[in-house]
Structure 1
Amino acid sequence: MHRTGSLAVFVYSPLSRAIQAAALAAPLLLLPGWTAMAQAAEPGSQQQAPRSYSIPAGPLSTALSRFASEAGILLAANAGLTAGKRSPGLNGAYTAEQGLAVLLEGSGLQARGDGQGGFTLLAQAAQGALELQATQVFALGNALGSMAGYQATHSSVATKTSMPLLETSQSVSVVTRAQMDDQGARSVAQAVRYTPGLMSAPYGATTRYDYVALRGITDGAVDNLYLDGLKLMGDSGTYSSLQVDPFFLERIDILKGPSSVLYGRSLPGGLVAMTTKKPEYTRNNQVQLSAGSNDYQQLAFDVTGPLGEQERLAYRLAGVARDANNQVDDIEEQRFALMPSLSLELGEATRLTLQALLQRDPESGYHGGLPAEGTVRPYRGQRIPRSFFEGEKDRERFERDQQLLGYQLEHRVNEVVSARQNFQYLDAQVDSDQVYQYGYTLDDYGYGAPGDLYRAYTGAEEALHAWTIDNQLQFEFDTGRLSHTLVAGLDYQRRKAKVSYEGGTVSPVNPYAASRPVASYSFYHQYDESRRLEQTGLYVQDLLALNNWRFSLGVRHDWVDVGFEQTESLYGDQADNATQEQLTGRVGVLYAFDNGLSPYVSYAESFNPNTTAAYNYNGSTYDISLLEPTKGKQGEAGLKYQPQGRDDLYTLSVFELRQTNLASKDSSENFFRAVGEITSRGVELEARFQPLENASVLASYTYLDVEYSKDFVGAAGVNNRGNTPNAVARHMAALWADYRFRGGLQLGAGARYFGHSWADAENSLRLPSYTLFDASLSYDLTQVGLAGVALRLNLNNLTDETYVSACNSLLQCYYGEERNVMATFSYDF
């Protein structure tokens, strides 16, 4: 074990030992001696020369965010301080102090310098004193912190810095806390369903995992989730994929396209970055009670505030307890979760946030499928009801326990240098039993009665341990007329999973029969397996500004070590290891016109190691081996528009994306090769705007043209070159509108359209399109004397449309969510 200061990191392998040693050097920037030397080296760093600004009048939050970015200063503030306030704008040459004074004129706020080039926003109290309220870094605040309404102006997901969305040369969508609340999201997948380019229900109404398929890349759609800037280190090749309750989140940023330069191994379609709620220095408490369809019951609470009079410590504790049935018979959902966090101000320029997530899911809902015959189209004139359960109640179990410990450490050395270190440790256990169907016995296997479903059993015991650390140094400086924001980083992640699988066969069941016979079973042990992954990445990114030009240049080198070992296996004990290196790059160019238009072009790459083995039959036994990493590359062009003085944002993006090295096998071979390729071309349109002061609108449209562009042999042994992958629609659209009346009443309504898709890679069966309608109604009872009390009613699939959301083969199709009604009582105090 190697120690640096108070931080300890275990070194696991000789391959990455030298690089990890360099990673541990980053916290040295936080030591007082180093800081003092750095500041002494720049004696004039506190005196900023005047700079020219042209910031239009508009919302104060927008003006301050833009000023902090252009001035290169650290501005800390409570987002609530600026809510509803406007700024007169800024034109001309000013120092940082002068510019802030002009922007804040008439707002009742002042900016106080910390002596190190940073500023804190303060409110004028009634007695004339200045009050320090909840602190959030403005240069990162609108990119990571809380915000009012649906409009986010900044995001850190594409650059790991606070970058205005208008100046980001890649497509980014943001789901705010207000949007999650108003739309009644019960999972992350539901929270992002109004986002363009995204399919969040490839497995229907299940809530066990958060599946998010981006830009037509549906494979591994649960392996693209990130939490507080770090990959959520579940194992998508097992059942140990983790889930975070949306109640614990402040915002969700969706980055479209490859992202390996900053994040290492990732899917080429994009990623979903979740940001948790953080401690605040203003006391805020909330309790929620919810009840709804299928006996849904939930208690949630969220309390936060300062500790002590000096306001150097703040805490937050959020919790969820849930119990519900399901639209499928004999299925339950239960969750008990706590997320405590603590924020420590370690001086004027250093902050440490500690957090944990303790979650237990005794029951995790339904995760099964039914044949296309009987769901997509009738089977012998009949359809299977949405409520039919093909499994067995005494063999249906999915128990998941997950724990997360982590921290985010930030330090501003001076005007030029800042350092960040993010760390997470994950531990999870999963115990599951499931009986599932796999087609009609008479049609597919030649025995049984018409309508009988063949059934099998699988059971699993899994344990997952993972940790990841990301060290970042950020430099802000000028070279001549070029302004630089340079980010250099070194990250490391390690994951190990131990699994034990049982298999079996189960007597058939007939979904069309009036009664269900007692099931009989035959069990066997499949194998025990140990799976591991280790990745070390070194990356550099430079964001350059030259007048109205914005350039983004990034490069990364990764070292990856993956392996598995099977024992007690039906296929014979086997093991395989692979050591891989990969260089990825990204480049983007954007021009920000003064009228709010920003055209851009970009190119990005990705890679994703295969940690799941391929089973290759050699004539008498199975040979199990790891495949090469899948790779991705994308070219994108777009246009963004933000009217001057407003937070509205309109985005158009056009892209071509390729994913290569898909596992496939030729019709003449019995083993897999990394030869397949998917090409995805598309257009995405998104608008987030406020046509009226009390109205918000979200609108989007997606066109996708996705095909297997090289030979790809699917389960049926057919070469699918030229076909469209399953669960991909050519047309998608969404619209949500929300209006707040003066008397405390709020109404919202939305529609989601998903076009025709294919049930299988062979394109033998097309699924019908569907349109779903949602609505919300809420009332703030403060208007009738009940301060802090509010009621909300959410209705999803208002017309109770019966539809199949997607299939992954003709044997596995998934009904979408039926009409769901949920009422929520909340009390803020």
Structure 2
Amino acid sequence: MPVRRYRSPFPICLLGVSLLPLTAVAQSADSVSSDSSNNLETVTVTGQSAATKTETPFVETPQSISTISQDEITEQGSRTVEEAARYTAGVFTNQYGATSTRYDALVLRGFTSGSIDNTYLDGLKLLNDEGTYSILQIDPYFLENIQVVKGPSSVLYGRASPGGLVALTSKRPLFTPYHQIQVSGGTQGYRSTGFDFSNQLGDSGRVAYRLVGKAMGSDSQFDRIQNERYTLAPSLTIDMTDDTSLTLMAYLQREPEGGYYGGVPADGALHDHAGRKISNSFYDGEPDYEEFNRRQTMLGYELTHRFNDVWSARQNFRYVNAATDYGQVYFSQWLNDREFSRAYFGADEKLDAYAVDNQLQANFSTGTLDHTVLMGLDYQHRQVKSKQSYGSFPALDAFDPSYGADGTIDPYADVNRKLEQTGVYLQDQIALDRWRFTLGGRQDWVDIDNRDTLNDTHNTGDDTQFSGRAGVLYLFDNGVAPYLSYSESFNPNSNTDENGDLLEPTEGKQYEAGLKYQPPGTEDQYSIAVFHIAQENVANYIQDIQSYRAVGKVRSRGIELEARHHFTDQFRVQASYTYTDVEYEKSDAGYEGNTVNSVPKNMASVWGNYAFDSGPLRGLDVGAGVRYNGESYVDEANTDKVSDYTLVDAALHYDLGELGLTGVEARLNINNLLDKDYVASCYSAARCYFGAERSAIATLSYQF
């Protein structure tokens, strides 16, 4: 008798994408992120671009890229990576609404699959596991910048979502003194304290350290739910010679309380159920059984060596160990006008993983052609052990809840999941006068081994995949740069068919045309990109056989516009518009011709900041932003829609140095200023997510 496989109502973890840059080891004190907005500039990445793994300027890269600096993160009061990307073209950050505190889910170019597992840190994949709760998260306070690279990037990174990647760069040691402490407090009981210290060690000028820490706690929008987190990130840079540098890094994080990840049905959230709607603070679980305790440890290094003016080498390595204890009681189905049945799912998990990326780069010329050749060999190993349980709980009144019930919980699965990926890649960036050509290819070998000892099932799979990439760009003297590009992606599938065999990997192909413009001598940047992505072997769940088949095909096409403009030295604006049309072109599950749910077709945003530099308001910065998300579908069957919504954010910053308190700054950030009550998105008709209510956080910092 076949084992019935339970389909969790929660999109636990999806599949992801590519990597990120190494940044310059030594930085000047002027480049350090601080709370001062007066000197905030459009970011210029001084290290490697995530799109090329080499030092390639924005205007010379034939691919759509957006960069978010630490100053922008601070200015907008972003508490998660997801929040930091709210004003970025091509990115939908409200897939899980107010529950998005424990994971960062960024939908890139309409691909919801991979929205959690598309993040990279310091050039290496975070190694989240699709299908379990072993998903890592990085606090943006510990980051120097965030790059969002749109479109397939398997040539440099192997298994990846066709939508793109989110590349995080950690703060690095500085060789000049930098010390900052800060305290924050706000609505929902929010409180935090952080510090950021860096300087050189000794008098040699070759060793520097950085120690960043933060403690945070808060209540939440949802009744009886809290957040608590403690993080420490030490790093050490050793310039062993003028040509060789080693940076050691660690990221240690403990979260005794990890918020909430539940949703409510469309019938009650979007529309009245028996004449009433569910409150946006409603909690459908049981406090005694609610658990999310995550502990993550990451240890790694970056080693760089320059052999001569032509050859240089880099090696990135990181080891990851994490443990997650998860438990949640959640909505199952309506029983009557007021009550619904509830189920339980829990997991105790251990993640053990490591990744290494070896790069050899050559810069040389052949006649009139200038080459930047990158050769690489990378390897990833990930293993997750997950003991899972499933159960049922007594019904709950959605409009007058009473908690304290006990349920029946039984073992569900004892899973051991392993994944290995080995890849070799080659890329040549060619400059011919004003022309820029990018050519790349990669060969990957992926092995998957999934075993469930409780249910006596064992699935293995291996895949060999080639990925290609090509791009051409012309750089005019005035800073205008039109480009064309083609790129590919592949993504191993963790779902199984009716025979218990792993499905074939999904494959993606993208054609992109764009125009970039950066006026010479300015920090202004403008871009427009038009793209078409086709993803094949998409896994559809077939109800008749209660299993998956790789018979789907998804097409995503659209246009993205983004601008960063300085009207004056005091007033700057960033704006974006996104049109994304994502459709099932083939589906044996009956979705052919339908639009993919959780993806707004239209999104737009604008953020502006004005810094007073004279008069009685000198030292004051005022910021404001508007975000628009168009309507989206509730489910794959397109039975209903989530209404569009517009949100307003605001920020105030004041340099108390104008009052004689040198180094002291105050900031106030307000999200959803008008306190709009809305549904952010729906994963299905049974699971919709309320948007975040108004929040205000005041921060006082001291730099010395």
How does the TM-score come out when normalised to structure 1? Answer: 0.79
Report how far residue 149 of structure 1 moved: 2.3
- 1:79 positional shift: 4.5
The equivalent position to 1:651 in structure 2, one of 512, 524, 527, is 527
The residue that corresponds to 2:472 in the other structure is: 589
**Residue 669 of structure 2 is aligned to residue 783 of structure 1:** no
> Which amino acid in 1 is paired with 2:92?
M
Task: Select the residue among 71, 74, 77 that pairs with 1:178.
Answer: 71
The equivalences for 1:67-466 within 5 A come to 78-80=27-29, 148-152=40-44, 156-206=49-99, 207-441=101-335, 449-466=336-353
Q: Residue 301 of structure 2 aligns to which amino acid in structure 1? A: Y
Evaluate the alpha carbon distance shift between residue 785 and residue 400 of structure 1 in structure 2; reply closer, same or farther with a 3 A threshold. Answer: same
- Of the three residues 787, 794, 818, the one matched with 2:669 is 794
Which amino acid in 1 is paired with 2:94?
A
1:511 offset after TM fit, Å?
1.2
Shift of the 226–386 alpha-carbon distance from structure 1 to 2, 3 Å rule, reads same
The one of 437, 453, 456 equivalent to 1:551 is 437
Is 1:577–2:460 an aligned residue pair? yes
Among 556, 566, 585, which residue is 1:690 paired with?
566
2: distance between equivalents of 1:379 and 1:179?
42
Name 1:731's counterpart in structure 2.
Answer: 602
Q: Deviations over 1:290-333 (max 9, x none)?
A: 10110000011100000001111000000010110001000000
What letter is aligned with 2:44?
A: A
Cα deviations by residue, 1:585-624 (Å, 9 ceiling, x for unpaired): 00000000111110000000001112x33363xxxxxx53
- Cα separation, 1, equivalents of 2:175 and 2:624: 35
Correspondence for 2:10: none
**Cα offsets for 1:553-590 (capped at 9, x unmatched):** 00000001001111112xxx110111110000000000
Could you tell me which amino acid in structure 1 is paired with residue 600 of structure 2? A
Alignment of 1:708-719 (within 5 A): 708-713=584-589, 719=590
Equivalent residue letter for 1:199 = F
Cα distance in 2 for residues equivalent to 1:671 and 1:791: 55
**Counterpart secondary structure, 2:112:** coil
Report which structure shows greater RCO (CA 8 Å, sep ≥6).
2
1:46-72 CA-partner distances (Å, limit 9, x unpaired): xxxxxxxxxxxxxxxxxxxxxxxxxxx
**8 Å contact 2:198–2:208 — kept in the other structure?**
yes
Quick one: which of 675, 693, 700 aligns to 1:825? 700
Distance across 2 between alignment mates of 1:665 and 1:450:
30
Cα separation, partners in 2 of 1:712 and 1:685, compared to 1, 3 Å: farther
Q: Which aligned runs of 4 or more in structure 1 are off by greater than 6 angstroms?
A: 74-77
Structure 2 residue 495 is matched with structure 1 residue 613: yes
Partners of 2:364 and 2:656 in 1: CA distance? 51
CA distance in 2, matches of 1:75, 1:266: 26
Cα distance in 2 for partners of 1:592, 1:80 equals: 32
**Aligned equivalents of 2:541 and 2:263: distance in 1?**
26
Pick aligned residue for 2:577 from 683, 693, 701: 701
Give the structure 2 partner of residue 539 of structure 1.
Answer: 425
The structural deviation recorded for 1:451 is 2.0
C-alpha contact (below 8 Å) 1:153/1:166 kept by paired residues: no
Q: CA separation of 1:182/1:465 partners in 2, compared to 1, >3 Å: closer, same or farther?
A: same
Mark the CA change 1:568 to 1:692 in structure 2 (over 3 Å): closer, same or farther: same
1:625 Cα offset (Å)? 2.9
Q: Tell me, in whole angstroms, the C-alpha distance in 2 between the residues paired with 1:423 and 1:517.
A: 47
The 1:189–1:712 alpha-carbon spacing in structure 2 relative to 1, beyond 3 Å, is farther
Match of residue 453, structure 2, among 567, 577, 584: 567
Residue 721 (str. 1) matches residue 592 (str. 2): yes
1:650-669 correspondence runs (5 A): 650-664=526-540, 669=545
1:472 alignment partner, one of 344, 347, 359: 359
1:457 and 1:416 mapped to 2: Cα distance? 59
Equivalents in 2 of 1:166, 1:688: separation in Å? 13
How many residues end up aligned between the 2 structures? 671
Counterpart CA distance in 2 for 1:493 and 1:746 is 45
Q: Secondary structure at the match of 2:98?
A: coil
Query: In structure 2, the residue corresponding to 1:394 is in which secondary structure?
Result: helix
Seen in structure 2, the aligned counterparts of structure 1 residues 805 and 656 have a Cα distance that, compared at 3 Å, is same
DSSP-derived class of the 1:179 partner = helix
**Is the 1:791–1:825 contact (alpha carbons within 8 Å) kept by the matching residues of 2?**
yes
- Compared with structure 1, are the counterparts of its residues 695 and 455 closer, same or farther at alpha carbon in structure 2 (3 Å cutoff)? same
Residue 644 of structure 1: CA displacement?
A: 1.9
* Corresponding letter in the other structure for 2:52: T
Partner amino acid, structure 2, of 1:786: L
CA deviation profile, 1:366-388 (whole Å, cap 9, x unmatched): 11000101111111211111111
Distance 1:666 1:814, change over 3 A: closer
Letter in 2 for 1:559: W
CA distance in 2, matches of 1:241, 1:288: 28
| Higher Cα Rg, which structure | 1
Aligned to 2:35: none
- Secondary structure, counterpart of 1:163 in structure 2: coil
Residue in structure 1 matched with residue 688 of structure 2 by the alignment: 813
Is residue 677–residue 712 contact of structure 1 (8 Å, CA) maintained in 2?
A: no
Q: What secondary structure sits across from 1:418 in the alignment?
A: strand
Q: Are 1:150 and 1:178, in contact at CA under 8 Å, matched by a contact in 2?
A: no
SS in 1 for 2:141: helix
Residue aligning to 2:11: none
Distance 2:305 2:204 in 1: 20
Q: Any conservation in 2 of the 1:305–1:316 contact (CA below 8 Å)?
A: yes
Cα separation, 1, equivalents of 2:530 and 2:500: 40
Q: In 2, distance between residues paired with 1:565 and 1:80?
A: 51
Deviations 1:447-501 (A, max 9, x none): xx42211210111100000000000000000000000000000000100000000
Instruction: Tell me how far 1:257 sits from its aligned partner.
Output: 0.1
Instruction: Quote the offset at 1:666 in angstroms.
Output: 5.3
Offset of residue 205 of structure 1: 1.1
Query: SS at 2:269's partner residue?
Result: coil
Higher share in helix? 1
Distance 1:670 1:782, change over 3 A: closer
CA distance in 1: counterparts of 2:345 and 2:173, whole angstroms: 42
In structure 1, the gaps of 5 or more residues are: 1-73, 84-133, 135-146, 442-448, 617-622, 714-718
Instruction: Give the secondary-structure state (helix, strand or coil) at the position aligned to 2:586.
Output: coil
Partner Cα distance (1:628, 1:220) in 2: 16
The sequence identity of aligned pairs, in percent, is 48
| CA spacing shift, 1:766–1:399, aligned 2, 3 Å | same
| Structure 2: distance between partners of 1:75 and 1:458 | 45
The residue number in structure 2 matching 1:751 is: 626
Q: Measure the CA separation in 1 of the matches of 2:26 and 2:246.
A: 17
**1:517–1:557: structure 2 CA closer, same or farther, 3 Å change rule?**
closer
The answer (yes or no) to whether the contact 1:747–1:777 under 8 Å persists in 2 is yes
CA contact (8 A) 1:371 1:438 kept: no
Q: In 2, are the aligned partners of 1:782 and 1:789 still within 8 Å (CA)?
A: yes
Task: Write the distance in 1 (CA, Å) between the matches of 2:546 and 2:693.
Answer: 42
Report whether the alignment pairs 1:598 with 2:492: no
Offset at residue 671 of structure 1 (A): 3.8
Match of 1:497 in 2: 384
Aligned equivalents of 1:302, 1:236: Cα separation in 2: 33
Task: Provide the C-alpha distance between the structure 2 equivalents of 1:741 and 1:214, rounded to a whole number of angstroms.
Answer: 36
Unaligned runs of 5+ in 2: 1-22, 33-38
Letter in 2 for 1:755: G
Q: Is this contact kept in 2: 1:469–1:492, CA < 8 A?
A: yes
Shift of 1:675: 1.2
Task: Describe the SS at the equivalent of 1:178.
Answer: helix
What letter is aligned with 1:558? Answer: D
